[in-house]
């Protein structure tokens, strides 16, 4: 393969690992890795702006009394809201103020802001929420920025399937919606959605299950506006284990969904 093609096919791999069955629901843990040589943008090192302080000021100016933290590139607004309207308005006020600041200062990927999280509770109860990583991408994100957005969303979050099936659990919809938002910003890159299983059971059945689960994830993304030409679906069955030690932990690692993002050929 020529050097140009090698550069074009510098794949970014999102490993989706760890599948545990809990009360009849299989939980797919998402752990992300990048290919050798991929550049990570938006480092939180050497950030010139104190985003937590800036955001707190904007919260106060908007007439709300919420706290803001900034960790691992995620700007999280927390506190107790009396209703959904206040919760929504406070979050949008902070997010828009930060995005305007990034734009006016021409910070781009150097801002360090990777996502916005609405952690404000209602009546003391946490609201099901996934950070907004798509808004931080900008209009024409680079491949590495898309990788970072996926990493941020998938950090500590899981996609659930019904045990032994390709039916996606409803509690994974928020996460998939966030992933779809990122995919719709990253339209310049093709994405392989690959399913993998452990070595337990029949190999042919495992192959079929891996294909069906990959297709189920892709179908969900398509339903959220991701273009069919952007996605490639593959089932690998049990052919590519991450861990061959044949332990329960190894099986959990090997049952996974992987996203491989690479630049489209010119």
The half-sphere exposure of 220 on its side-chain side, counting CA atoms within 13 A, is 23
Give span(s): CATH 3.30.1330.60, the chain. 1-40+142-266
Fold assignment, 42-137: Alpha-Beta Plaits (3.30.70)
Tell me if residue 265 falls in helix, strand or coil: coil
Looking at the chain, the domain(s) classified CATH 3.30.70 span 42-137
Identify the weakest region by mean pLDDT among 32-41, 79-88, 179-188. 32-41
Average model confidence (pLDDT) for the chain? 81
Split at pLDDT 50, 70, 90, the class of 93 is very high
Residue 178 confidence class, pLDDT cut points 50, 70, 90: very high
Neighbour order of strands in the sheet with 12-16: 12-16, 256-263, 189-196, 231-235
∠ Cα 217 154 149 (to 5°) = 100
pTM above 0.95, yes or no: no
CATH topology for 1-40+142-266 is: 60s Ribosomal Protein L30; Chain: A; (3.30.1330)
Beta strands in the chain (DSSP E): 12-16, 19-22, 25-29, 67-71, 74-81, 115-122, 158-162, 189-196, 231-235, 256-263
Q: Which residues pair with 232 in a beta bridge?
A: 192
Instruction: Report CA 138 to chain centroid distance, whole Å.
Output: 16
- pLDDT tens, 212-265? 999 999 999 999 999 998 998 999 999 999 899 989 988 877 888 787 888 786
pLDDT of residue 47: 61
Question: Is the pLDDT at 168 greater than 70, yes or no?
Answer: yes
């Amino acid at each position: 393969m020529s050097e140009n093609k090698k550069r074009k096919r510098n794949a970014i791999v999102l490993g989706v690992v760890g599948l545990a069955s809990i009360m009849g629901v299989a939980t797919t843990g998402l752990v992300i890795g990048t290919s050798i040589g991929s550049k990570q943008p938006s480092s939180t090192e050497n950030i010139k702006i104190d985003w937590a302080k800036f955001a707190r000021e904007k919260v106060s100016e908007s007439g709300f009394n919420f706290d803001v933290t900034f960790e691992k590139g995620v700007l999280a607004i927390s506190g107790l809201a009396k209703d959904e309207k206040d919760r929504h308005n406070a979050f949008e006020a902070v997010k828009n103020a930060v995005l305007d600041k990034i734009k006016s200062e021409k910070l781009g990927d150097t801002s360090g802001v990777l996502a916005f999280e609405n952690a404000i509770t209602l009546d003391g109860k946490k609201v099901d929420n996934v950070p907004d990583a798509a808004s931080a991408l900008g209009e024409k994100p680079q491949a590495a920025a898309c990788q970072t957005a996926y990493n941020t969303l998938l950090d500590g979050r899981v996609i659930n399937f019904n045990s032994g099936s390709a039916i996606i659990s409803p509690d994974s919809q928020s996460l998939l919606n966030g992933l779809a938002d990122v995919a719709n910003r990253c339209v310049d890159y093709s994405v392989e959605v690959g399913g993998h299983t452990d070595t337990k059971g029949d190999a042919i059945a495992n192959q079929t299950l891996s294909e069906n689960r990959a297709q189920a994830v892709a179908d969900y993304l398509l339903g959220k506006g991701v273009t069919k030409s952007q996605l490639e679906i593959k089932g690998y069955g049990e052919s590519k284990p991450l861990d061959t030690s044949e332990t329960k932990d190894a099986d959990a690692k090997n049952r996974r969904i992987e996203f491989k993002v690479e630049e489209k050929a010119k």
